[in-house]
Amino acid sequence: MNQTDVALHIPPASIQAIHQSSPDGSLHHHLQSLPPNLQGLDANGTLFQQHYLSDAHQAPHRLHASHPFNQNAALPSQAQFQAISVADYQHGGNRFNLIAAPPQHIQAPPPPIPRPPQQLPDLESQTQYGQLQDVDDTPVTSQGQFQGLKLIAHPPNLGEWRNKLFHVDETITLTEAEFQTYFPHIDNVYSHRSTQRHKRKRFVSHYWDCRLKGRPPGTKKSTDPDKKKRKRVARERDLCDVKIKITEYFDGAEFAEQTGQQPPADTMDNNTYLGPTALSAQSQVSPWGVPSVPSGITMGNAAALPKKYYTIQRVNGNGGNGKGDGVPGPHKHTLEESDKVKKNSVVRYTMKSERDKKKVQKTYHKKATGHALATVKAHSREEDLKLFGSCFCPFVQRAWISLEVKGMKYQYIEVDPYKKPQLLLEINPRGLVPAIRHGPTWSAYESTVIMEYFEDLKIGPPLLPSDPQTRATCRLWTDHINRHIVPGFYRLLQAQDEGDQMNYATELRDEIAKLVEAADADGPFFLGRNIGFVDVQMAPWVVRLKKVLGPYRGWPAPEEGSRWARWVTAIENEPSVKATTSDDTLYLDSYERYAENRPNTSQLANAVNSGRGLP
C-alpha cells in the first residue's frame, strides 16, 4: 500500500448549489452521486464526506488528503478520466466541477472533442432530396433535452411522419438521423415534463405531455429576467391527457438489449453532423449516462461512430377503453388544432429567418434619385438658408416644393435618419425633419410652420392669397389634410387585415372627397389656375397615392374627367413637384416594411369607387 496525494477542487458556486439543495446540512446523498472513479478513492465515501464537511467553507475550497489505496486496483483508468473530459464537453463542465488530478505515472487524457462549429442556415441550399432546407446545430427545444436537432424544412414523407408521431398508436423506433430530422416538426404538440437518467445504463428516458394538458399544478413560471414577456390568453386545461415516453439509446447494443430488437437501418444521410458523441459497445460510460470517446477518435473519423436510436411510445391517457384506468388513449383533438396552439420549431425558425433576411436585404434610401437628385446637386453649395431633409419624407417635400415655387436660394442637406448631424439636433432636439437654419442662429421645424415662414419672407410668388378670409379658408383645409387625410393614408398603408383595408380606404376616399368639393370648381388647383398653399400641403400625398398606395393597397387611379383627376394631373405635372420627386423604386422600398400584406386589388378599387366615389 502506498500513500498518494489526491486534490479535489470545488468551486464556490458548486458548494453553494449543493448546500442549497441540502438545507438540512446532509450531503451524503449528493456525495453518493459522485462518479465511481472519484468515489473509488475511498470505497466508503469517508474521504469526501469528512473532508468536505470540515473544509467546505475554507478558501480556496480545496480538499487535500493523503489516503492509502491500492494503485493497481482503485486508480481511475485513462478511459475514466476521458469520461470526465467528455462530460465537460457535453455539459459545459461536469455536474459538480470536480477535477481529480491524475497521479504522475498516469498519462493525462487527450483534450475533449470540440463541438463542431455552428453552420449558418442556408435557405437556398438543396438537400439530397431536392428540397429546401435549414440546418442549425443548436438545440431547438427550450429545455435542451436533445442536442443537434436538424431544422430541415421539407424532408421526405413529412406529412406521414407528422401523423405517425402525433398519434403514436404503437411504439415507434427511429434512427438518430430520423429523430433529428422529424421531431422538430412535431415538438409543438408536446411539452417536456421530466427526464430520467440511468446511471448504469446507456439510455435516457424523456417524458412529454400533450401541450393541451396545460401547465400542471405547482409548475413554476420562468424567473429569467431576460425572457420576453408576452400577453397570453389563458387556455383551458386538461383538454388532452396523452403522455409519451421518448427513450434515447446511446448505441445499438444497448438498444438491442433493452428492446430485444435489432437496431433499424439508417437510411438517411447523417454524416454531415456529428452531434452528441455516440457510443460504441466497447466504450466507457460515465455514471451520468454521458458517453466517453474511444481512444483514437478524431474529428476526421468521428462521423464513423455508431448512431443513437430512439423509441417513442404512448404511456398513459384517459384510456382508449373509456374506463379511465390508465390504458393509453388517443388525443382528444386533431394535429391541426395543436398547430394552432403553437408552431413547431421548424416553422418558427423559418419565419424568423425570413424576417431576418428581409432586415438584411432591405435598407432605407439615403440619397434622392431621379429629378430630386438633380435638384439636390443644384442646391449643394453653401447658402445662408439651409433645409435639412430626407429623400423619402413627404413632410420634407412640402417645404422643398415651397422653396422651388418661390425660387429661393437654399442649401439642401440630406439627413440619415439614424445618424443625425449635431447641427440638426441643435435645431430640433428630436432630430426630426424638415428643419431649417436661416442665418447663423435662427432655426425652425414643422413643415406647415416652415411654409408660413417662407410666406412671411415675401420672396417669389405667394402661396397664400392676400384676402384674409381666403387665407383663413386655406388654413382650415390645411388643418383638414393634417388631421384626416394624412392619418388616413398611414392607417390604410399599415393595415394588414383585408377588412380593415377596405374600411380605411373608404374613410380616406371620403376625406379626400370633402377637400375636392371645397376646391374651385374649374381648378385645376385648389384655388384656381395657380398652385397654392393647400396644393403644396397635399402634393406629397397625391404623389404617394400613386407610387405607394397603388402598388401596396390597390388604390385606384382617378376616374377620367373628374375634378379629382384634373387636380391630380395638375399636381403631378407641376415643375416644383417633379423637381422634388424621386424614382418609384425609392418610395416602394421606403414603405415596404409597412405594407407586407397586399389586398385584393379589384376589391379595394371597388370600395374606393363605390357609392359617391371621388368627385
- Asked if residue 434 has a cis previous peptide bond (ω within 30° of 0), the answer is yes
DSSP string, 95-152: TT--EEPPPTTSPPPPPPPPPPPPPPP-TT-B-TTS-B-----S--STT--SS-----
Q: Where are the domains of the chain?
A: 2-100, 158-215+237-355, 370-609
How confident is the model at residue 596, as a pLDDT?
67
Q: Nearest CA to 176 among 291, 297, 265?
A: 265
pLDDT score, position 95: 35
Name the 3-class secondary structure at 313.
Answer: strand
As given in the structure block, the three cell numbers for residue 471 are 387665407
Query: How many Å apart are CA 138 and CA 142, to the nearest integer?
Result: 11
Give the CA distances from residue 210 to residues 214, 326, 462, in Å, rounded to whole numbers and listed in that order: 8, 15, 73
Q: What is the pTM of this model?
A: 0.49
Cβ contacts of residue 236 below 8 Å, gap of 6+?
214
- Please report the pLDDT score of residue 217 as a whole number: 55
Instruction: Tell me how far apart the alpha carbons of residues 324 and 315 are, in angstroms, rounded to a whole number.
Output: 13
Burial 339-355 (b: 16+ CB within 10 A, else e): beeeebbbbbbbeebee
Nearest CA to 19 out of 91, 96, 131 is that of: 96
* Contact by Cβ (8 Å): 2, 68: yes
Q: Are 296 and 78 in contact (CB under 8 A)?
A: no
Q: Return d(Cα 261, Cα 524) in angstroms, integer.
A: 87
Residue 541's contacts (CB-CB under 8 Å, 6 or more residues apart) are 394, 481, 485, 486, 489
Q: Helix 486-494 crosses helix 498-518 at what angle (to 10 degrees)?
A: 160
Relative to beta strand 385-389, strand 411-414 is parallel
CB-CB contact of 602 with 555 (8 Å): no
Q: Can you name the residues that pair with 174 across neighbouring β-strands?
A: 310
- 10 vs 25: CA distance, rounded Å: 17
What distance in Å separates the CA atoms of residue 228 and residue 269, rounded to the nearest whole number? Answer: 37
Question: 389: closest CA among 401, 405, 406, 371?
Answer: 401
Cα separation of 360 and 362, whole Å? Answer: 6
End-to-end CA distance of the chain: 108
Amino acid 447 reads S
pLDDT in tens, 289-312: 333 333 333 334 434 445 789 999
CA dist list (Å): 1 to 72, 393, 448, 603? 10, 87, 97, 94
Query: Helix axis angle, 468-480 relative to 498-518, nearest 10°?
Result: 170
Cβ atoms of 140 and 231 within 8 Å: the answer is no
At residue 80, the pLDDT reads 42
Of 90, 192, 182, 206, nearest to 143 (Cα)?
192
Whether residue 386 contacts residue 441, with contact meaning beta carbons closer than 8 Å, is answered with no
Candidates 1.20.1560.10, 1.20.1050.130, 3.40.50.1820, 3.30.43.10; CATH matching 370-609: 1.20.1050.130
Of the candidates 402, 396, 349, the residue with the CA atom closest to the CA atom of residue 576: 402
Signed CA dihedral, 215, 219, 220, 224: sign only: negative
Q: Which residue has the cell 389634410?
A: 481
Angle (nearest 5°) at CA 37 between 69 and 53: 75
Question: Residue 437 forms beta bridges with which residues?
Answer: 386, 443
Determine how many CB atoms are found less than 10 A away from the CB of residue 324: 11
Q: What is the pLDDT of residue 201?
A: 86
**Quick one: which of 290, 378, 240 has its CA closest to 93?**
290
**Residue 179, pLDDT score:** 93
> b/e per residue, 472-489, with b = 16+ CB within 10 A?
ebbbebbebbeebbbebb
Residues in the chain predicted with pLDDT less than 70, given as ranges, are 1-144, 215-220, 230-237, 267-306, 317-328, 358-363, 596-603, 610-613
Report yes or no: 198 and 291 within 8 Å, Cβ to Cβ.
Answer: no
| CA–CA separation, 33 and 13 (whole Å) | 18
Instruction: In whole angstroms, give the CA distance from residue 593 to residue 218.
Output: 43
Give 44's Cβ-side CA count (13 Å radius): 5
Torsion angle in degrees (nearest 10) through CA of 340, 346, 347, 352: 130
Q: Alpha-carbon Rg of the chain, whole angstroms? A: 36
